[in-house]
Structure 1
Amino acid sequence: MLTYPGVIDLPRATLDFLTGLLVDDHDRRRTWRKLPPERQALLVLAHLRHGDTYERLAAGFEVSVGTVHNYLREAVELLVTRGRSLLAAVWTFAWTRSNFLILDGTVVRTNRVRALNRLYYSGKHKYHGINLQGLTDPHGRLLWISDGLPGSTHDLTAARAHHILDTVDRAELYLYADKGYVGGEGTRLLVPHKKPPKRDLTDQHKNDNRAHAATRSPGERGFAVLKNWHIFDRYRGCPRRVGNIAQAVLVLTENQH
């Protein structure tokens, strides 16, 4: 088998942050690992950033596939505990000078799950996946990301399931969202005007929609940054883990400096 040196396009601070979490956790639990914490952290980042498979990581780090699985699960669970809940993210933001958030959804592509074929199939995107909801600030910085729901879940249904609309409304913040959230509850939910049946939008409504799109556009950068992590190109593990992995990556992204 051939091996070669590789590069992970992340700052040293990201590796140091994850290494510190692993060191503290190992010391607290008084556990031992075959790889030192820094090497374990490097293995985890190679998987999340580049999407390297368990088999490639096992060969490269000279451990078993089972050990790779355990190392990854341990690190992801540690990172998730460092993330903010929806309530904490919204109320922390409510203390800033801005008065609105941007809501958007995405579907992370996964392998087909035969037993759950229809449930995980997204008719909108035409592939199997997991629906994730995210909140960004007016500058496009991702503040919170949800647990995963099956890809067939409509964005508005997902937002209701995660109590996003109610939480933002109680914080007295406005919420910009696309047409997928039309019909949502709350007086502070701002969505584009939909074209009436057999009629065109008025000029005023067209201008309103253009202004709405311009305000909402930075929110698309939130998921774009997340998808720079190639684990999300096509997730091949258990679909139920996609939400946790996305939350872990968000924590790493916030600690790159």
Structure 2
Amino acid sequence: MKKYNNLAEGPDGFVYTARLPLSSATLNWLSCLIRGHLKKIGSWWRALSAGRIAGIVLAVLRCDQRPSDLAGGNGVHRTTVSRWVREVVGLLAARAPRLDRALKKIARSGGGVVLLDGSLIRTPRRTGTETRKNYSGKHKCHGLLVIALTDDKGRLVWVSAVRPGRTSEITACRHYKLTAHLRAAGLGAIADLGFVGLDDGGPDADPAVIKCSAVPAQRKARRDYENRVSTLGAPA
């Protein structure tokens, strides 16, 4: 009996069209950002247009598509896609607001509080002794820690730079002097019980961080949380 062990796929691979969960306004905004950068550095030629570069980068950042797969489907090399991703990430990072300016903007708009939380971005395990820095004992995995602030409606205001995964959330907040920035802007922050001990301004200082329970089932803790928010009020 003759056996057929050949692969079903063709030698050139299979190319398909996918849809990203992003608006066209996001794609157009990023395309204009790339065009402005290319004009600024005097790079008048790229293998693909700024619009297609923006789509490829968004596919990598938003949907974690592999650069090698996107490179093969667009007729470029994998290292080219990786270089585009690093380039765009640098452009986006340069436009990120500073912490003090972001908080002052919230205060000027009439806001009184921000929501504070930490998040671990999972990463592959690194080799050697460097892997210990990124291992989080809390989450039992490797990753990088970021601290995020949102307004009272959940809209992102500020995201910190990444810290090693073993860093605690309180240590990261103290590194960025978060409570000092909150008091300078006249704002308060709502945090879960994981941030107990962060606000060390003393009994006479205005509360910069209010702790609340993160468990939705505890209705009493939820009511206390809402009462504490209402007592802060808007800054003068």
Band of TM-score, shorter chain:
0.7 to 0.9
Q: Does the alignment pair 1:191 with 2:203?
A: no
1:154-193 → structure 2 map (5 Å cutoff): 154-184=168-198, 185-186=200-201, 187-192=207-212
Match of 2:143 in 1: 129
TM-score of the pair, normalised by structure 1: 0.75
| Local SS of the residue matching 1:56 | helix
| Local SS of the residue matching 2:133 | helix
1:195-237 Cα deviation digits (max 9, x unpaired): xxxxxxxxxxx83x32355689xxxxxxxxxxxxxxxxxxxxx
Pairwise CA distance, 1:98 = 2.0
Contact 2:100 2:185 survives alignment (8 Å): no
Pairwise CA distance, 1:117 = 2.1
1:16-46 Cα deviation digits (max 9, x unpaired): 0000011111112110211111111111011
TM-score of the pair, normalised by structure 2: 0.81
CA RMSD of aligned residues (A): 2.0
AA matched with 1:139: K
Q: Over alpha carbons, which structure has the higher Rg? A: 2
In terms of fraction of residues, the more helix-rich structure is 1
| Local SS of the residue matching 1:91 | helix
Contact 1:138 1:215 survives alignment (8 Å): no
| Local SS of the residue matching 1:9 | coil
Q: Does the alignment pair 1:39 with 2:52?
A: yes
Match of 2:19 in 1: 7
| Local SS of the residue matching 2:16 | coil
Pairwise CA distance, 1:167 = 0.5
Deviates more, 1:113-122 or 1:12-21: 113-122
Q: Does the alignment pair 1:27 with 2:39?
A: yes
> Relative contact order: is structure 1 or structure 2 higher (C-alpha 8 Å, sep ≥ 6)?
1
Identity across matched positions, percent: 35
Pairwise CA distance, 1:144 = 0.6
Counterpart CA distance in 1 for 2:178 and 2:227 is: 19
Quickly say closer, same or farther: Cα 1:83–1:191, change in 2 above 3 A: same
Counterpart CA distance in 2 for 1:13 and 1:180 is: 37
1:220-231 → structure 2 map (5 Å cutoff): none
1:1-257 → structure 2 map (5 Å cutoff): 1-31=13-43, 32-115=45-128, 116-184=130-198, 185-186=200-201, 187-192=207-212, 207=220, 209-212=221-224
| Local SS of the residue matching 1:112 | coil
Quickly say closer, same or farther: Cα 1:86–1:212, change in 2 above 3 A: farther
Unmatched tracts of structure 2, length 5 or more: 1-12, 202-206, 214-218, 229-236
Quickly say closer, same or farther: Cα 1:39–1:156, change in 2 above 3 A: same
Deviates more, 1:154-163 or 1:183-192: 183-192
AA matched with 1:14: T
Quickly say closer, same or farther: Cα 1:214–1:112, change in 2 above 3 A: farther
1:49-77 Cα deviation digits (max 9, x unpaired): 11101111111111111111111111111
| Local SS of the residue matching 1:107 | strand
Counterpart CA distance in 2 for 1:33 and 1:98 is: 44
